[in-house]
């Protein structure tokens, strides 16, 4: 399936390391990170899942549920989780989908024949409470993901979904944001009482409104 930003994330049922799930039921009214791995017992993925587990409190405070996917079985996942916990000094605290028939991988376009006919590449989706896809990133199998960037993007998405702002290059939580062009300069003081700086008529900066 050729998914695009703003598309409804496909629902599915699947076996996972924490039991059978229906994806939408699992999400509830939360945000979600769904991310795939080429296979169990792969070195880079071991570090990624360990990092994800270590960031549980960061995902929790953002109302984000995390769910991973690999093409191996539940039993394989459980053995791998033991290795992840041991080597990364964590407790894996989120489900890993057992996508042995590649059904979920095909739904989300995680199979890239140029890279592999059988393994998923490192695809990552951020999905909003409205079940729509807000971000898609695909990494090559050789490159581990930057989870601080994923948290940064979630912060931006959640902020910009509630306020008429955008976030500039390299923005981090607490920094100034951009007032979107649709707002007239004369209307900014009423919407953003913390003040603003007009750098150009199309480039107006204001303090992060929810801080």
Cα distances (Å, whole numbers) of residue 20 to 74, 104, 106: 10, 14, 19
Instruction: Tell me the C-alpha distance between 42 and 3, whole Å.
Output: 27
| β-bridge pairing 165-166 and 177-179 | antiparallel
Residue 176 CB-density burial (10 A; 0-12 exposed, 13-18 middle, 19+ buried): middle
pLDDT at 116 over 60: no
Instruction: Tell me the C-alpha distance between 20 and 60, whole Å.
Output: 22
45 catalytic, yes or no? Answer: yes
Binned at pLDDT 50, 70 and 90, residue 163 comes out as: very high
pLDDT at 139 over 90: no
Residue 113, pLDDT score: 55
Instruction: Tell me the C-alpha distance between 37 and 110, whole Å.
Output: 9
Neighbouring C-beta atoms of residue 131, cutoff 10 Å = 16
pLDDT single digits (tens) 33-80: 999 988 899 999 999 999 999 999 999 999 999 999 999 999 999 999
pLDDT at 183 over 70: yes
Which token pair is 6? 């703003």
Which of 45, 81, 97, 179 is catalytic? The answer is: 45
All domains of the chain, ordered by start, with CATH?
Answer: 13-145 (3.40.30.10), 163-206 (3.30.1020.10)
Neighbouring C-beta atoms of residue 177, cutoff 10 Å = 25
Instruction: Tell me the C-alpha distance between 38 and 121, whole Å.
Output: 6
Instruction: Tell me the C-alpha distance between 39 and 113, whole Å.
Output: 15
Instruction: Tell me the C-alpha distance between 17 and 33, whole Å.
Output: 17
Least confident piece of the model among 21-25, 43-47, 142-146: 142-146
Query: Is the whole model's pTM more than 0.95, yes or no?
Result: no
Residue 115, pLDDT score: 47
Residue 1, pLDDT score: 60
- Residue 125 per-residue DSSP state: E
């Amino acid at each position: 399936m050729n998914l695009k930003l703003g598309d409804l994330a496909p629902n599915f049922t699947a076996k996972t390391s924490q039991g059978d799930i229906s994806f939408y039921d699992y999400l509830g009214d939360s945000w979600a990170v769904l991310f795939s791995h080429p296979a169990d017992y792969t070195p880079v993925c071991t570090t990624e899942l360990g990092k994800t587990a270590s960031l549980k409190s960061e995902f929790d405070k953002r109302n984000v549920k995390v769910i991973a996917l690999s093409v191996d079985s539940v039993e394989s996942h459980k053995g791998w989780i033991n290795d992840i916990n041991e080597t990364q000094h964590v407790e894996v605290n989120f489900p890993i989908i057992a996508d042995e028939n590649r059904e979920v991988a095909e739904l989300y376009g995680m199979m890239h024949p140029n890279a592999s006919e059988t393994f998923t590449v490192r695809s990552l989706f951020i999905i909003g409470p409205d079940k729509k896809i807000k971000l898609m990133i695909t990494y090559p199998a050789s490159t581990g993901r930057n989870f601080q960037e994923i948290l940064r993007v979630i912060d931006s998405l959640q902020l910009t979904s509630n306020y008429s702002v955008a976030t500039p290059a390299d923005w981090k939580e607490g920094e100034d944001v951009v007032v979107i062009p649709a707002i007239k300069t004369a209307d900014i003081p009423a919407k953003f009482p913390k003040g603003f700086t007009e750098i150009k008529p199309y480039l107006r900066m204001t303090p992060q409104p929810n801080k």
